Amino acid sequence: MKLLDYVRPHAHHEDDDAPPVPTSASLGLMACRHCAAVWKGAQDGDACARCGTRLHVRKPQSLKRTWAFLIAACMMYIPANMLPVMITRTLFGAQYDTILSGVIYFWVSGAWGLAAIVFIASFLVPLFKLAVLFLLVVLAQRGSTWRQRERASLYHIIEIIGRWSMLDVFVVSLLTGLVQIQGFAVITAGVGIAAFGAVVVLTMLASLSFDPKLSWDSEEAQALAQEQENQHGHENRDEKPA
Amino acid sequence: MKEVPDTVVCPGCDAVYACAPLHPRDVARCPRCGTELGRHPGEQERRILPLTVASLIMFAIANLFPIVEIELRGLTSQTTLVGAVMALSAEGMSAVALLVLATTILFPLLQLCILAYLLVPLSREHRPVGFALLVRAMQSLRPWGMIEVFLLGVLVAIVKLSSMATVVPGPALWAFVALTVLLTAVLSFNPGAFWEMKFRPAGQADDGDSSGSGGGGGSADRASA
pLDDT at B210: 37
Q: Which residues contact B147 (CB under 8 A, 6 or more apart)?
A: B104, B108, B176, B179, B180, B183
Confidence of residue A6 (pLDDT cuts 50, 70, 90): low
Pairwise CA distance, residues A170 & B154, whole Å: 7
Partner A contacted by B142 (CB < 8 A):
no
Confidence of residue A227 (pLDDT cuts 50, 70, 90): low
Q: Kindly determine whether residue B15 and residue A23, on different chains, have CB atoms separated by under 8 Å.
A: yes
Q: Kindly determine whether residue B96 and residue A163, on different chains, have CB atoms separated by under 8 Å.
A: no
Per domain, the residue ranges of chain B are 1-40, 43-199
A127: exposed, middle or buried (C-beta count within 10 Å: 0-12, 13-18, 19+)? middle
Give the pLDDT confidence of B128-144 residue by residue, as tens digits. 888 889 999 999 999 99
Confidence of residue A12 (pLDDT cuts 50, 70, 90): very low
Asked whether the beta carbons of A197 and B99 are under 8 A apart, the reply is yes
Residues in chain B: 225
Per domain, the residue ranges of chain A are 21-57, 61-216
Pairwise CA distance, residues B140 & A47, whole Å: 17
Q: Kindly determine whether residue A215 and residue B83, on different chains, have CB atoms separated by under 8 Å.
A: no
Pairwise CA distance, residues B132 & B195, whole Å: 8
Q: Kindly determine whether residue B96 and residue A3, on different chains, have CB atoms separated by under 8 Å.
A: no
Q: Is the pLDDT of residue A236 over 90?
A: no
Q: Which residues contact A205 (CB under 8 A, 6 or more apart)?
A: A69
The ipTM value here is 0.85
Partner A contacted by B19 (CB < 8 A):
yes
Give the pLDDT confidence of B144-186 residue by residue, as tens digits. 999 999 999 999 999 988 888 899 999 999 999 999 999 998 9
pLDDT at A228: 55
Q: What's the mean per-residue pLDDT of chain B?
A: 83
SS3 sequence of A77-90? HHHHHHCCCEEEEE
Confidence of residue B64 (pLDDT cuts 50, 70, 90): very high
Q: Is the pLDDT of residue B2 over 80?
A: yes
CA gyration radius, chain A: 25
C-beta contacts of B141-145 below 8 A and 24+ residues apart = B141/B107, B141/B110, B141/B111, B142/B111, B142/B187, B142/B191, B143/A159, B143/A162, B143/A163, B143/A204, B143/A208, B144/A204, B144/B102, B144/B103, B144/B107, B145/B103, B145/B107, B145/B108, B145/B111, B145/B183, B145/B187
Over range A213-236, report the average pLDDT.
63
Confidence of residue A68 (pLDDT cuts 50, 70, 90): very high
Q: How far is CA A23 from the centre of its chain?
A: 22
pLDDT at B41: 75
Over range B48-71, report the average pLDDT.
94
A-facing residues of B in 158-197 (CB < 8 A) are: 159-161, 163-165, 192, 195
For chain A, the DSSP string reads --PPEEP-S-GGGTTSSSPPPPBHHHHTEEE-TTT--EEESPPTTPBPTTT-PBP-SS-TTHHHHHHHHHHHHHHHHHHHHHS-SEEEEETTEEEEE-HHHHHHHHHHTT-HHHHHHHHIIIIIHHHHHHHHHHHHHHHHHTT--TTHHHHHHHHHHHHHHGGGGGHHHHHHHHHHHH-EETTTEEEEE-HHHHHHHHHHHHHHHHHHHS-TTHHHHHHHHHHHHHHHHHHHHHHHHHHTT-
Q: Kindly determine whether residue A1 and residue B161, on different chains, have CB atoms separated by under 8 Å.
A: no
Specify the range with the lowest mean pLDDT, choosing from A119-128, A197-206, B2-11, B189-198. B189-198
Proportion of chain B above pLDDT 70, given as a percent: 87
Pairwise CA distance, residues A201 & A77, whole Å: 12
CATH code for the structural domain at A61-216:
1.20.140
Q: What is the Cβ-side half-sphere exposure of residue A75, based on CA atoms within 13 angstroms?
A: 7
Over range A194-212, report the average pLDDT.
96
Q: Is the pLDDT of residue A22 over 90?
A: no
CA gyration radius, chain B: 21
The partner residue sitting opposite B84, judged by closest CB among A50, A177, A198, is A177
Q: How many C-beta neighbours within 10 Å does residue B155 have?
A: 18
SS3 sequence of A198-232? HHHHHHHHHHHHCCCCHHHHHHHHHHHHHHHHHHH
The partner residue sitting opposite B4, judged by closest CB among A5, A40, A169, is A40
Chain B residues touching residue A160 (CB < 8 angstroms): none
pLDDT at B195: 81
- For residue B21, the 8-state DSSP code is P
Partner A contacted by B90 (CB < 8 A):
no
